[in-house]
């Protein structure tokens, strides 16, 4: 039934694009629908050639309604003559290079279908990037996109509140795992923190609600890495906003931050016992497993430094008959039915599966947008739009550092959101001179 609904929705994409072409302002509803589909992602995404028991970064050729709305926006852009360039920015070019450097790993892959699942994911992510870029170039409606993202953050807090009442220890909202929720909410919390500090945005109550919701989600997941990154990311956002983005008196910013700090301290005090317990009572086996799997990744990189062991083939190569685990000293609890987990850092995962060149390209891609956000904050200083790169800079630092402990930035939902934010940053960069004087 789910597949029949999907194919009916696919047939409806071209007519939807035609309808949207009647009124350009209607395009925002397609973007809101993309974000709304993320809010119910697990229920609406379909895996073709699904292997749910596989322990890798992709378990099927995943297709989401998010991509259908993205395709509709691309068709609309073509109708209106605003089709973006295939490679519209330096960041997009680096992603293409990263993608191409992942392809040689097919030569060492044990299972080509598993590799294709990850390659398909990267293609769909680029479609998402291009669609958001096309929407922004077509409408120049940055605030509608931000409004949709704010609603997404509030929705996730509502899901967490429901799970909290049901007694769920680590709720995950609309994400497949609590660490994914916590990492994504760093981007949201810092974005809306910066918007709150800068002020001047319409519907500011929704933005404040989004800031509170995203911050609450991070803390309530009890994700140790995310909680540890929260003060650092807020500090970076505060410094960029106060000393770069805003040109007027900073006394107003300090006045605005006082009630936030008070509420934050009260909320932290209420949750402090459980947070302390989460850090103090963490099982030693968890830390040992992370170290052992990191050593396994090292063995794979030593074996295949240029091409890796095959994109999305970690779940195969870490187990028998391959000996990477044994070479790394991970020999306990390994019988014929045992299936080992995935390495808990996105950097070692990409290095092991795709090789050092692909890892370098991915890190360059990450850093490109971090530095672009910092520079863009200065370029847009004095404008309310400066809040966006200032907040995203703090959020990206948290995501990149947390990725040393998690492989979440290879999960579909987190990457879709990352692509949306990167498209937003590129649009602001391309139009910075005009937006600054708007």
Lookup: tokens for 204? 């500011």
**296 occurs within a structural domain:** no
Its domain, for residue 403, covers: 89-283+349-436
Contact 65, 44 (CB under 8 A): yes
pLDDT bin (cut points 50, 70, 90) of residue 315 is: very high
Which residue matches tokens 């044990």?
A: 110
Rounded to whole angstroms, how far apart are CA atoms 312 and 109? Answer: 8
Q: Contact at 8 Å (CB) between 181 and 156?
A: yes
Give pLDDT, residue 286.
63
pLDDT for the residue 82: 81
Instruction: Indicate the pTM of the whole model.
Output: 0.94
pLDDT for the residue numbered 267: 60
Closest to 191 in 3D by CA, of 129, 242, 237: 237
Dump pLDDT digits (tens) for 93-150.
Answer: 999 999 999 999 999 999 999 999 999 999 999 999 999 999 999 999 999 999 999 9
In a domain, 2, yes or no: no
327, burial (CB in 10 Å: exposed 0-12, middle 13-18, buried 19+): middle
Residue among 111, 122, 124 at smallest CA distance from 312: 111
Provide the 10 A C-beta neighbour count for residue 225. 18
Whether 115 contacts 51, CB under 8 Å: no
Q: How far apart are CA 68 and CA 315, in angstroms?
A: 30
Q: Is residue 339 situated within a structural domain?
A: no
Tokens of residue 35, six digits: 């974000």
- Is omega for the bond preceding 52 within 30 degrees of 0, making it cis? no
Q: What percent of the chain clears pLDDT 90, i.e. is strictly above it?
A: 60
Q: Please tell me whether residue 63 adopts helix, strand or coil conformation.
A: strand
Query: For residue 326, is it within any domain?
Result: no
Q: DSSP character for 24?
A: G
Is 15 part of a structural domain of the chain?
A: no
Q: Is residue 422 part of a domain?
A: yes
74 is a domain residue: no
- Number of structural domains the chain divides into: 1
pLDDT digits (tens, 9 = 90+) for 141-198: 999 999 999 999 999 999 999 998 888 888 899 999 899 999 999 999 999 999 998 8
Q: Whole-angstrom Cα distance, residue 199 to residue 193?
A: 10
The conformation of residue 242, written as its DSSP 8-state character, comes to I
267, 424 Cβ separation under 8 angstroms: no
Lowest mean pLDDT among 29-43, 67-81, 243-257, 394-408: 243-257
Over its C-alpha atoms, the chain yields an Rg (Å, rounded) of 22
Cβ neighbors of 85 (< 8 A, separation 6 or more) are: none
Is the Cβ–Cβ distance between 224 and 278 less than 8 Å? Answer: yes
pLDDT band (50, 70, 90) for residue 227: confident
Contact 34, 69 (CB under 8 A): yes
For 10, other C-beta atoms within 10 Å of its C-beta total: 14
228 in any annotated domain:
yes
- Rounded to whole angstroms, how far apart are CA atoms 134 and 303? 42
């Amino acid at each position: 039934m789910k597949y029949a609904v999907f194919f009916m929705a696919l047939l409806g994409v071209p007519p939807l694009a035609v309808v949207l072409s009647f009124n350009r302002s209607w395009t925002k509803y397609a973007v809101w629908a993309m974000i709304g589909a993320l809010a119910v992602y697990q229920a609406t995404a379909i895996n073709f050639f699904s292997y749910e028991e596989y322990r890798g970064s992709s378990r099927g050729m995943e297709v989401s309604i998010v991509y259908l709305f993205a395709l509709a926006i691309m068709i609309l852009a073509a109708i209106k003559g605003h089709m973006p360039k295939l490679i519209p920015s330096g960041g997009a070019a680096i992603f293409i290079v990263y993608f191409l450097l992942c392809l040689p790993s097919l030569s060492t892959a044990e299972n080509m279908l598993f590799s294709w699942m990850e390659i398909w994911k990267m293609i769909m992510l680029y479609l998402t990037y291009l669609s958001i870029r096309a929407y922004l170039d077509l409408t120049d409606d940055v605030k509608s996109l931000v409004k949709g993202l704010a609603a997404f953050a509030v929705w996730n807090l509502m899901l967490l509140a429901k799970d909290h009442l049901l007694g769920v220890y680590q709720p995950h909202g609309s994400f497949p795992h609590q660490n994914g929720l916590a990492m994504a909410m760093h981007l949201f919390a810092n974005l809306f923190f910066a918007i709150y500090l800068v002020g001047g945005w319409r519907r500011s109550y929704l933005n404040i609600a989004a800031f509170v919701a995203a911050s609450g989600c991070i803390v309530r997941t009890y994700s140790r890495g995310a909680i540890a990154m929260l003060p650092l990311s807020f500090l970076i956002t505060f410094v960029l906003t106060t000393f770069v983005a805003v040109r007027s008196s900073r006394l107003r910013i300090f006045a605005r931050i006082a009630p936030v700090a008070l509420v934050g301290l009260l909320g932290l005090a209420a949750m402090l016992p459980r947070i302390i317990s989460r850090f103090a009572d963490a099982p030693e086996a968890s830390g040992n497993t992370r170290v052992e799997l990191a050593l396994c990744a090292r063995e794979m990189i030593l074996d295949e430094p240029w091409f890796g062991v095959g994109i999305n083939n970690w779940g195969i190569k870490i187990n028998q008959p391959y000996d990477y685990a044994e070479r790394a000293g991970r020999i306990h609890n390994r019988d014929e039915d045992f299936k080992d987990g995935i390495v808990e850092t996105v950097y070692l995962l990409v290095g092991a599966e795709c090789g050092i060149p692909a890892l370098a390209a991915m890190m360059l891609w990450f850093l490109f947008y971090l530095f672009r956000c910092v520079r863009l904050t200065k370029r847009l200083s004095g404008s309310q739009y400066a809040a966006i790169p200032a907040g995203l800079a703090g959020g990206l630092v948290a995501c990149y550092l947390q990725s040393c402990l998690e492989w979440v930035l290879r999960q579909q939902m987190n990457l879709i959101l990352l692509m949306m934010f990167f498209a937003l940053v590129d649009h602001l960069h391309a139009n910075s001179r005009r937006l600054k004087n708007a």
